[in-house]
Structure 1
Amino acid sequence: MLEKNSTSHQSQTENEYCDGVIHFGNVDWWYHNRGHASVRMATRIARRVPTVWINSIGMRMPVPGKTEIAWARYWRKLKSLTRGLKRDPKTGLYIYSPIFVPRYSPTMLNFNGWLLSLQVKIVCWRLKIKHPSAIVSMPTMTPAVERGKWVKVVFDRCDDFTTLPEADKDQVWALEKRLLEISNAAAYVHEGLMERELGLVKESVLIGHGVDFEQFVTARPIEGQRAPIPESMRDLPKPIIGFYGGMDEYRMDVELMIKIARHIHPGTLVLIGPKQMDLSRVLAEKNVKHIAQVSPKDLAAHAAHFDVGIIPFLQNEFNEMCNPTKLKEYLALGYPIVVMKLPAFQAHESLIYTANSHDEFLVRIDKALKENEPSLIEKRRVAVSGSSWDKVAARVAELLAVPIEF
């Protein structure tokens, strides 16, 4: 069991507002999916105060022969480490790739906490941030957060990491519990996870997800021309069944994706996003098109040309507590959506097609392709028209004591 540091979370500073935000991230900016909710919030908060995205230090050691694309994971992280501190010119967000030891024993987690805390202090000094707040998306960074002095601490409760394959469940929960204890608030995207942890943190806030509504609606209007089709999608045989986002072995159902490709042939299965798992068996199907990660601003122009949007997730413990951002974006686009049945989709079941098995998923795709109810497009859009990432980020900024004007 991981012991709490004797140098744990200091008393809050006396400052009413912070002058910068340190976001202990759950992805690596340089090679992971930048459409993640945590990234969407960070880039918006960066418009108000200097904000630093600390690239993830992970929580499991890739093991060749056991972990998918293990050597590729090592190589991409090494390349990330060479970048140091950079500023993204498009968003103004600072990105820092911390030096750490990729070991996750209690001793090494505490050592990495000390090492990361030291690096964060140097980054704050370089950027002249004197009174930072912290938002934490990755529990293995808890020992570093405990060593800091913050205006506010917010736990970005985006996933239940105890269910991550190859991670030490008891150790991860111990870290998450410590983080809940020292946080001023926890921001949740999944109501079930929030309800499970009520009373473990000072304030529980259900923030949900936003959507860049106008961007997606404009890309696929009910009448008129869609956004110009990207070159990477031109001349693809129809129908186009599509998915975009991070693809991890603990999220994606490989067998289902293969069945989908074969079922819709000669149509095309389009997968957009970084390869975070071994997709070789799926890509072996001749009618599967993989497109590398595209920026969030270009995503709508690609997804607008799907005939059906899909979420072929595994029905497993990890996904039980997930809440994919893409669902609201699919709804804003207005087209038919087919998903594996999971708690996060329940609120929108009247607007989407859900399945409990592979065979049922294929039947639902056939039904979605035959859909001819224009009123459903409007209903889907109305369901998410009040959501926006600006609102979500503003609520999180409030929790972090970010000043309205800086």
Structure 2
Amino acid sequence: MSANRRNLHQWVVFGPDWGRHPSTCQHLFNEMLGAHSVIWVETVGLRPPRLTLRDLSRSWQKLVDYVSGRRNRTTASRPGLTVLCPLTLPFPNSRLARKFNQWQIIRSVKRACRRLGFKDHTLVVTAPSHCDVVGSLGEGMSLFYCPDNYALWPGMNAHVVQHMEAELTDRVDAIVAVSEQLAERFKSSGKPVHVLTQGVNAAHFAQSLPARDSGQFEIVYFGMIDERLDVDLLIQLARRLPQARFRMIGPVLIDTRRLRELPNMRLEAQLPFADLPAALISANLFIMPFVVNELSKSCSPLKIKEYLACGRPVVAMALPETQRLKDYVHVAPDPNSFEDAVVAAFEGRLPFDLEAVKLMIAREGWEQKAQDFLEFAETQRRSIH
């Protein structure tokens, strides 16, 4: 969206940390900066922290961000963006912690709204725990932007999350979901529900073209290395194709010792979004080897369109969102078919229509998604006011 357009809206948005690794919601609002004013509120997640190096490091980082104000400084150059990092406690199952977080967040957001002259803004929340602040921030309208079914995630207290989500659904004015499967869960709420599928920054990932021959067929997965992955399938693939190199790029949330024992399997740390295309330039094939279960079927993986924007073939398990892209992605109904498709790609036998993929990706950019989101929000504001 052009930065020359007049300031159309004021938004208060609750989401993950801005810029650490862009979320779906961040991609949307990144397109609006310059034409819209955004207060982005970083809050803690729904899963209580565990005594792991990753969780302890993350908690320490949040404390440093709050005390130093570093998050504000790192985003100060973005026109129209204000990032808040309220001091909050990462214990969503504790009533006392929720009350403390509610007080801290409301206090911090209201102060920022007064300073920036926000009045009658639109509130956008992205997690069930945000139910505690809806209706308390002076918003003219509120939207629940739902990117996932959080109650299904391992480590969550499903009962607490479902209760929060029901309370949130009751309080907001409308709901935006990233897939038909997620939207279906809210159809009985009586609230307007809009489906806005994932977008892609096509120009960013096209930087991985043209592919560079590394001398070894390279099979790549990037994203969360978590409970959705079929580790047995990955091991079987690596053993069947010892000549290929397998790269798994992303934060590790599961035990990966069996994967690390494989000589042709590399696990690499999560990369900054800006650095991803350069790291993917030697990839020959992208894979999404998920176990097909209730958790994975509820997901709308952002990475599928990012894979395709790199201009390489993609093999994915048969999930609702991959089925929707079956004209561009090789969708495998079971692990054996998945394995056969990967072998076919290795042998140069897997069809891939690059021109058709480019045409589809060109229609799925975040700028178009942001415009769709804005049109829905404006329609809801008119119906309210």
**Shorter-chain TM-score range:** 0.7 to 0.9
How far apart are 1:208 and its partner, in Å?
Answer: 0.6
The structure with higher relative contact order (CA 8 Å, sep 6+) is: 1
Which runs of structure 2 are paired with 1:65-214 in the superposition (5 Å)?
Answer: 69-84=54-69, 85-86=71-72, 87-88=74-75, 91-92=78-79, 93-103=81-91, 104-214=93-203
User: Are the equivalent residues in 1 in contact too, given 2:328–2:352 (CA < 8 A)?
Assistant: no
Are the structure 2 counterparts of residues 239 and 90 from structure 1 closer, same or farther at C-alpha, using a change threshold of 3 Å? farther
Structure 2 match to 1:39 = 26
How far apart are 1:400 and its partner, in Å?
Answer: 4.3
| Letter of the 1:397 counterpart | L
Structure 1 residue 327 and structure 2 residue 304: aligned?
yes
Structure 2 match to 1:49 = 36
- How many residues align structurally? 370
SS at match of 2:353: helix
Are the structure 2 counterparts of residues 362 and 56 from structure 1 closer, same or farther at C-alpha, using a change threshold of 3 Å? farther
- Give the Cα separation in 2 of the matches to 1:289 and 1:211: 26
User: Are the equivalent residues in 2 in contact too, given 1:215–1:300 (CA < 8 A)?
Assistant: yes
1:385 is aligned, of 335, 359, 362, to: 362
Post-superposition Cα deviations, 1:209-256, rounded to whole Å, max 9, x if no partner, equal 112234444643xxxxx17x6xxxxx85511111222x1523333443
- Give the Cα separation in 1 of the matches to 2:199 and 2:256: 29
Query: Which of 292-301 and 198-207 deviates more?
Result: 292-301
What are structure 2's unaligned runs of at least 5 residues? 1-6
How far apart are 1:304 and its partner, in Å?
Answer: 4.2
Please give the TM-score of this superposition, normalised by the length of structure 2: 0.84
| Letter of the 2:173 counterpart | N
SS at match of 2:134: helix
How far apart are 1:205 and its partner, in Å?
Answer: 0.9
Structure 1 match to 2:291 = 314
Are the structure 2 counterparts of residues 59 and 219 from structure 1 closer, same or farther at C-alpha, using a change threshold of 3 Å? closer
- Give the Cα separation in 2 of the matches to 1:202 and 1:218: 41
Post-superposition Cα deviations, 1:144-189, rounded to whole Å, max 9, x if no partner, equal 2232221221111100111122222222122212222222221111
- Give the Cα separation in 1 of the matches to 2:257 and 2:116: 43
SS at match of 2:187: coil
User: Are the equivalent residues in 1 in contact too, given 2:219–2:246 (CA < 8 A)?
Assistant: yes
User: Are the equivalent residues in 2 in contact too, given 1:338–1:355 (CA < 8 A)?
Assistant: yes
| Letter of the 1:21 counterpart | W
What are structure 1's unaligned runs of at least 5 residues? 1-16, 221-225, 230-234
SS at match of 1:238: coil
- Give the Cα separation in 2 of the matches to 1:79 and 1:291: 26
User: Are the equivalent residues in 1 in contact too, given 2:341–2:350 (CA < 8 A)?
Assistant: no
Are the structure 2 counterparts of residues 113 and 277 from structure 1 closer, same or farther at C-alpha, using a change threshold of 3 Å? farther
Are the structure 2 counterparts of residues 312 and 365 from structure 1 closer, same or farther at C-alpha, using a change threshold of 3 Å? same
How far apart are 1:202 and its partner, in Å?
Answer: 2.6
User: Are the equivalent residues in 1 in contact too, given 2:196–2:372 (CA < 8 A)?
Assistant: yes
Structure 1 match to 2:346 = 369
How far apart are 1:355 and its partner, in Å?
Answer: 3.1
How far apart are 1:275 and its partner, in Å?
Answer: 4.2
Structure 2 match to 1:9 = none
- Give the Cα separation in 2 of the matches to 1:47 and 1:253: 42
How far apart are 1:28 and its partner, in Å?
Answer: 2.9
- Give the Cα separation in 1 of the matches to 2:121 and 2:153: 30
Structure 2 match to 1:285 = 262
- Give the Cα separation in 2 of the matches to 1:254 and 1:68: 22
SS at match of 1:348: coil
| Letter of the 1:252 counterpart | L
User: Are the equivalent residues in 2 in contact too, given 1:353–1:368 (CA < 8 A)?
Assistant: no
- Give the Cα separation in 2 of the matches to 1:349 and 1:100: 42
Are the structure 2 counterparts of residues 97 and 288 from structure 1 closer, same or farther at C-alpha, using a change threshold of 3 Å? farther
How far apart are 1:343 and its partner, in Å?
Answer: 1.2
Are the structure 2 counterparts of residues 316 and 19 from structure 1 closer, same or farther at C-alpha, using a change threshold of 3 Å? same
How far apart are 1:277 and its partner, in Å?
Answer: 4.9
Sequence identity (%): 26
Post-superposition Cα deviations, 1:57-89, rounded to whole Å, max 9, x if no partner, equal 11121233xx79543443444444445351525
Are the structure 2 counterparts of residues 184 and 80 from structure 1 closer, same or farther at C-alpha, using a change threshold of 3 Å? same
| Letter of the 2:56 counterpart | W
Are the structure 2 counterparts of residues 166 and 294 from structure 1 closer, same or farther at C-alpha, using a change threshold of 3 Å? closer
- Give the Cα separation in 1 of the matches to 2:76 and 2:256: 32
User: Are the equivalent residues in 1 in contact too, given 2:63–2:87 (CA < 8 A)?
Assistant: no
User: Are the equivalent residues in 2 in contact too, given 1:158–1:189 (CA < 8 A)?
Assistant: yes
User: Are the equivalent residues in 1 in contact too, given 2:289–2:316 (CA < 8 A)?
Assistant: yes
- Give the Cα separation in 1 of the matches to 2:77 and 2:137: 29
User: Are the equivalent residues in 2 in contact too, given 1:24–1:137 (CA < 8 A)?
Assistant: yes
Which runs of structure 2 are paired with 1:331-350 in the superposition (5 Å)?
Answer: 331-350=308-327
Cα RMSD of the aligned pairs, angstroms, is: 3.1
- Give the Cα separation in 2 of the matches to 1:146 and 1:356: 45
Please give the TM-score of this superposition, normalised by the length of structure 1: 0.80
Are the structure 2 counterparts of residues 83 and 37 from structure 1 closer, same or farther at C-alpha, using a change threshold of 3 Å? farther
| Letter of the 1:54 counterpart | V
Structure 2 match to 1:28 = 17
Are the structure 2 counterparts of residues 374 and 257 from structure 1 closer, same or farther at C-alpha, using a change threshold of 3 Å? closer
- Give the Cα separation in 2 of the matches to 1:134 and 1:83: 26
- Give the Cα separation in 2 of the matches to 1:120 and 1:205: 27
